[in-house]
């Protein structure tokens, strides 16, 4: 599978690397790592992300400034990174497939296998590790930049190895990326010790505003546009807020419902031990992992969304109870 994908890449000339909208470290880790590698392979490579205002905290990543919010005029291959569904790219799959061969690189259980080649390895700790395995199996030399991007993608997607699918080989692979040039101390400082004041204020708001439900097993937080304006925070500053709620000792599921500028909502779900939140997200058209998932909604009020999620939580807990 890895060799088939790489052979197809070798035959392509003009390649667009696509990361999902409102990108995180993993989707960018994949695309930015491949950008440098494929340039060295003599390919004409273009980085695309439909989000016009990219997260500022990721500006330290190699090649970040090469990302564009428009497509080039000519391309014969599109490589989609870390997208369970093609809709997450902000592009139309029918239009793209008329123009190019599509390779789908991902690690989500809920991936819809939309590519001409689906390099979907699930479970896996990150999509970045899928790229790592493809490069290794095809004997591609890692650059320090590529190693850094893949390290960043994996360490962020696993919450610094706090969750996700990991085993001994994960840590061996991460050690190899360090040997190839990734600097774990510098990366940790960039991701963990560069918190904007506005994000700090938003965390303070979240700590005072969430609700504990279902005997403390569910933590629920609404974040409204007014809250962002009051704290000076940006959308990207909400990224890790939900983890603060999940970390409360009694909480099994954390829910964050974020109001978007257009009045729609982004819903983030986290679980700790035994609830598969990807099943909940899938019911509402989203997806994700066992312990981290999400979906979007433009048709319901926030309070109604919360009620529906709580109903799914109750069902999930009953199902778990039958398995104990």
Using alpha carbons, select from 1, 48, 34, 20 the residue that is nearest to residue 111.
20
* Residue 324 scores a pLDDT above 50: no
Mean pLDDT of 305-323: 82
- Model pLDDT, residue 172: 93
- Model pLDDT, residue 193: 83
Phi and psi at residue 218, to the nearest 5°: -120, 130
Q: Among residues of the chain, what percentage have pLDDT more than 90?
A: 75
**What secondary structure does DSSP assign to 44-60, as a single string?**
EEEEE-S-SS--GGGTT
Distance between CA atoms of residues 181 and 151, nearest Å: 10
**What secondary structure does DSSP assign to 106-165, as a single string?**
E--TT----SSEEEE-SS-S-HHHHHHHHHHHTTPPPPHHHHHHHHHHHHHHTTTTTSSS
* Residue 267 scores a pLDDT above 90: yes
Q: What domains are there in the chain, each with its CATH number?
A: 2-192 (3.90.1640.10), 197-323 (3.10.310.30)
pLDDT digits (tens, 9 = 90+) for 133-165: 999 999 999 999 999 999 999 999 888 887 777
pLDDT digits (tens, 9 = 90+) for 44-92: 999 999 998 898 889 999 999 999 999 999 999 999 999 988 998 999 9
pTM of the model: 0.85
* Residue 320 scores a pLDDT above 70: no
Q: Is the peptide bond before 123 cis (omega within 30 degrees of 0)?
A: yes
pLDDT digits (tens, 9 = 90+) for 152-203: 999 998 888 877 777 888 899 999 999 999 999 999 999 888 888 998 999 9
* Residue 322 scores a pLDDT above 50: no
């Amino acid at each position: 599978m890895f060799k088939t994908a790489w052979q197809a890449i070798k035959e392509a000339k003009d390649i667009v690397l696509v990361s999902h909208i409102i990108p995180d470290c993993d989707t960018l880790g994949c695309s930015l790592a491949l950008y440098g590698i494929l340039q060295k392979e003599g390919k004409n490579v273009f980085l695309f992300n439909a989000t016009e205002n990219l997260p500022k905290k990721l500006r330290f990543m190699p090649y970040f400034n090469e990302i564009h919010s428009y497509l080039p005029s000519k391309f014969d291959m599109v490589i989609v990174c870390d997208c369970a569904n093609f809709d997450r790219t902000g592009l139309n799959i029918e239009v793209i497939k008329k123009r190019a061969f599509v390779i789908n690189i991902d690690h989500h259980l809920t991936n819809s296998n939309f590519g001409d080649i689906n390099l979907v390895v699930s479970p896996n700790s990150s999509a970045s590790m899928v790229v790592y395995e493809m490069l290794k199996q095809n004997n591609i030399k890692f650059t320090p930049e590529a190693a850094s991007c893949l390290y960043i993608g994996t360490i962020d997607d696993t919450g610094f190895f706090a969750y996700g699918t990991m085993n001994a080989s994960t840590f061996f692979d991460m050690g190899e990326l360090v040997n190839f040039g990734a600097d774990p101390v510098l990366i940790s400082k960039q991701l963990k010790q560069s918190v904007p004041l506005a994000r700090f204020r938003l965390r303070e708001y979240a700590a005072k505003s969430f609700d504990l439900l279902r005997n403390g097993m569910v933590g629920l937080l609404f974040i409204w546009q007014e809250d962002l304006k009051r704290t000076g925070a940006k959308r990207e500053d909400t990224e890790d807020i939900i983890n603060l709620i999940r970390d409360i000792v009694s909480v099994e599921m954390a829910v964050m419902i974020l109001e978007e500028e257009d009045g729609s909502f982004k819903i983030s779900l986290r679980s700790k031990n035994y609830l598969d939140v990807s099943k909940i997200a899938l019911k509402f058209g989203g997806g994700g992992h066992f312990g981290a998932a999400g979906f979007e909604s433009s048709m319901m009020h926030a309070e109604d969304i919360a009620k529906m999620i709580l109903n799914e939580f109750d069902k999930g807990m009953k199902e778990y109870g039958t398995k104990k």
